Amino acid sequence: MSPEGLAFAPVLLPLLGAAIVFLAKAFFRGRGAVIAEYTGVFTGLYLPWLALIFLFPVVINGSAVTGVIGHWNSGVGISYRFDGLAWMVNVLGYTLGGAAWLHSLSSGPKGPSFSAIFLIQTAALGAAIMTADLFNLFVSLEVLGISSYILVSSSEKPGAALASFSYLMVSSTAMVFFLLGLFGLYRITGSLSYEGIAAGSGHLEGNTLATAVISLSLLVGAIAIRVAVMPLYGWLPDAHALAPHAVSAVLSGVLIKTPLFALSRILILFPIGKEAGQLMSYAGAATALLAVIIALSQKDAKRLLAYHSISQIGYIVCTWGAAVAVGIGTKAGTLLMAAAFLHALFHAVFKGLLFLSIGSSVDAAGERDVYKLRGAVSILKRSGDKAAIAFFGFLVGALSISAIPPFNGFTSKTAMTYLLKYYGQSGTVLYWMLTVAGAGTAASFIKLSRIYWPGKDEAYRDLPDRKGALAVLPASVSILFLSLLCIAGGIFTPLIFRTVTALLSGSPLSMGEGFSFFSAGNLMKSLYTAGAGIFVFLLATGRRGGALLTKVRERPRSFQGLFVSYALAAAAMAGWLLYHAFL
């Protein structure tokens, strides 16, 4: 099959899988329906790996599969571009999507409707990253959005419907402004394809430049909501905390990153895009630091993880923004972008792992409060997870996110902070902000690990054995798989990093002369950070620290606050870009 046909496999196979699942629901009952459903899921979630393997030689040397869908004239048709970036984001999505769906067999929600929408969401991820057309990006984001609203609301938890509704309202509002921005750019350039927009916006001035700049800031604002950068994070904690575990894993691991990498395709078109990247970079560093403080104050286990997703996406946005600011085509830009992607990939793996293993643990105990739940290991053993694999998964995930060598979080955070300090604007400040956030992360996971500490588990002693060993098998397999990836990712980082740079720029690059991920300096730094983490943990559990964190946790949050923060963010981005465009 031609590369043109194969490039669409990551989008079309999940859709085909969804169609099979819908057929299974409509025509079959009982065993037949389950077999047909699994066939659909296999087609949609695991078969695309074949296509990705065949596409690897095509994209590894920096070339791309491009064209217009349906072979129309490029001025009216939809352009697409399947390159190294699209390949990598697909790998990220399918790795976590496959593992998360497997976990849902144990933890729910089961059923054909869930599987079908899960598949459609996966397809939308693939579509969003390979499009080279602004309106098609809008459609992809809409499909992505509506499938995630439905998946969040499919949870049995009270409040899930409301969380899904807030997410829907704020992101639909932003999409209206995305559409306005799209209109503004079309008005000026007469094109929807990225190429056409770049060609049409070459030398603008005065009024027209202002229109282009504001349109761009509206696009960035709408995507920043999906990425949940400060101050646009308000919808995320509820949605991610209350969604079913498998959905939380995918939302945190994949969904918030895909729009970000899709955005880099747009920002590269405009000279002013660099300034947008710079502001996003600062916002990312602030996000990493502030979200970790809020995370430290949480008492719901999954909500704590949700705030860590915001914090970690802050790291990624910070590095990604710095890459955009120095220019994606340059060597520094490629290195920074590769580091950002590396952390996006590794975060997807370890955060997915954390959501799944914490999900298994709190389900077994029927308790999510970090301050109440104790002795989760023995609870897990009684619930059918004889080897306490969920605890093992948590341990690997927590060590990874706290950047302890040799786990994958250590290498990706080292790469990001090192490169930011070296290449980024005001890189030293960003470096220290991210390092302090790292200490907070370690502290917060010491706090979360207390649910596994042996202790007063009398309250849970008379829990009935609710699940057999067979029922937890899929969950255990997915947790083990992701744990393995965490360790392998850390050990093989130099190889992965070179591959990522090759996919981005066509030729493999290394971090720099004489740089080693596991050098004594880097190992010592991780030790210092972990030590600082213990110190912060002790501070936070102290009387004063506890009171302060309670205040942070109980801070007022409101529905209309989501919209006010969106307006503020869009205005700030527009103001920042106008300032740099005209002054």
Partner 1 sequence: MKKSAVGSVFALLLISAVVLPVFLSSYQWPVTARDHLELKGVEESGATNLVSAIYLGYRAYDTLGETIVLLVAVTGTIGILKKAGAVLEDRHSFALPGEMRRANYMRTHLLEAVTSKLGPIVLLFGFYVMLYGHLSPGGGFQGGVVVASGIVFLALGSSGNASSALIRQDMLGRIEAVAFLMLLILSISGIFTGEGFLDNPLKHYSSLPAAFIIVLNIIIGLKVGAGIGVMCIIMLGKE
280-319 positions binding partner 1, by CB under 8 A = none
For residue 561, what are the CA distances in angstroms to 178, 334, 389? 20, 37, 40
Q: Quick check: 459 binds partner 1 (CB under 8 A)?
A: no
Structure tokens at 496: 């992965």
Between 23 and 471, whose beta carbon lies closer to partner 1?
23
The verdict on 583 binding partner 1 (CB under 8 A) reads: no
Closest CB to partner 1 among 208 and 426?
208
Q: Which of residues 428-457 bind partner 1 (CB under 8 A)?
A: none
Cβ at position 565, least distance to partner 1 in Å: 8
Measured CA to CA, the distance from residue 420 to residue 322 in angstroms comes to 7
Quick check: 544 binds partner 1 (CB under 8 A)?
Answer: no
Burial class (CB in 10 A: 0-12, 13-18, 19+), 20: buried
567 C-beta neighbours (distance < 10 Å), count: 12
Stretch that binds partner 1, among 76-84, 256-264, 321-329, 459-467 (CB under 8 A): 76-84
- Is 558 one of the binding residues for partner 1 (CB under 8 A)? yes
CB of 153 to partner 1, least distance (A): 7
Single out the segment in contact with partner 1 by CB under 8 A; choices: 22-30, 86-94, 231-239, 383-391: 22-30
Number of residues that bind partner 1 (CB under 8 A): 76
Q: Which candidate, 67, 565, 47, places its Cα nearest to that of 290?
A: 565
Binds partner 1 (CB under 8 A): choice among 47, 139, 477, 487: 139
3-class SS of residue 257 = coil
Candidate list 102, 229, 570, 581; residue touching partner 1; CB under 8 A: 570
Q: Could you say which of 10, 20, 93, 170 contacts partner 1 (CB under 8 A)?
A: 20
Provide the minimum distance between the beta carbon of 552 and partner 1 in the complex, in angstroms, as a whole number.
20
Q: Does 52 bind partner 1 (CB under 8 A)?
A: no
- Alpha-carbon torsion angle 18, 24, 26, 27, nearest 10: 150
Under the binding rule (CB under 8 A), the answer on residue 75 touching partner 1 is: yes
Q: Which is nearer to partner 1, 185 or 289 (by Cβ)?
A: 185
> Does residue number 41 form part of the binding site for partner 1 (CB under 8 A)?
no
- Among 20-28, 276-284, 440-448, 547-555, the segment contacting partner 1 (CB under 8 A): 20-28
Q: Which of 135, 422, 481, 515 binds partner 1 (CB under 8 A)?
A: 135
Which amino acid appears at position 415 of this protein?
A
Q: Does 581 bind partner 1 (CB under 8 A)?
A: no
Report in angstroms how near the CB of residue 508 gets to partner 1 at its nearest.
31
Tokens coding 516: 């080693």
Closest-CA residue to 434 (of 409, 410, 417, 414):
417
- Partner residues linked to 81 by β-bridges: 66
Q: Is 199 in the site for partner 1 (CB under 8 A)?
A: no
Structure token pair of residue 120: 């459609």
For residues 484 and 571, which CB has a smaller minimum distance to partner 1 in the complex?
Answer: 571
- Kindly tell me which of 62 and 75 has the beta carbon lying closer to partner 1: 75
Spatial distance between the Cα atoms of 400 and 391, rounded to a whole number of angstroms: 14
Task: Report the residue from 215, 278, 402, 522 that binds partner 1 according to the rule CB under 8 A.
Answer: 215
Q: Which stretch binds partner 1 (CB under 8 A): 144-152, 354-362, 367-375, 476-484?
A: 144-152
**From candidates 542, 567, 579, 582, binder to partner 1 by CB under 8 A:** 567
Q: How far apart are CA 391 and CA 357, in angstroms?
A: 7
- Of 9-17, 258-266, 331-339, 403-411, the window that binds partner 1 (rule: CB under 8 A) is 9-17
- Of residues 120 and 272, the one with the C-beta less far from partner 1: 120
Quick check: 58 binds partner 1 (CB under 8 A)? no
The yes or no reply on residue 50 touching partner 1 (CB under 8 A) is: no
3-state secondary structure string, 315-326?
Answer: HHHHHHHHHHHH
Q: Is 356 helix (H, G, I), strand (E, B) or coil?
A: helix
Taking the complex as a whole, the smallest distance from the CB of residue 22 to partner 1 amounts, in Å, to 4
Out of 96, 150, 283, 336, point to the residue binding partner 1 (CB under 8 A): 150
Using CB under 8 A, which residues numbered 92 to 121 contact partner 1? Answer: 113, 116-117, 120
Per-residue contact string for residues 152-191; x = within reach of partner 1 by CB under 8 A? -xx------x---------------x--xx-xx-xxxxxx
* Per-residue burial over 445-478, b = 16 or more CB atoms within 10 Å of its CB, e = otherwise: bbbbbbbbeeeebeebeeeeeebeeeebbbbbbb
**Residue 65: CB minimum distance to partner 1, A:** 11
Tell me the window of 15-23, 242-250, 452-460, 527-535 that interacts with partner 1 (CB under 8 A). 15-23
- Count of CA atoms in the C-beta half-sphere (13 A) of 322: 33
Spell out the residues 6+ positions from residue 13 whose beta carbon is closer than 8 angstroms to its own.
43, 44, 47, 48, 51, 123
Q: Compute how many other C-beta atoms are within 10 angstroms of the C-beta atom of residue 572.
A: 15
Structure tokens at 511: 């971090």
Note whether 364 and 379 are within 8 A (CB): yes
Q: How far is CA 341 from CA 39, 304, 325, 464, 504, in A?
A: 32, 24, 16, 44, 10
- Radius of gyration over every alpha carbon of the chain, rounded to an integer in angstroms: 23
Q: Is 518 in the site for partner 1 (CB under 8 A)?
A: no
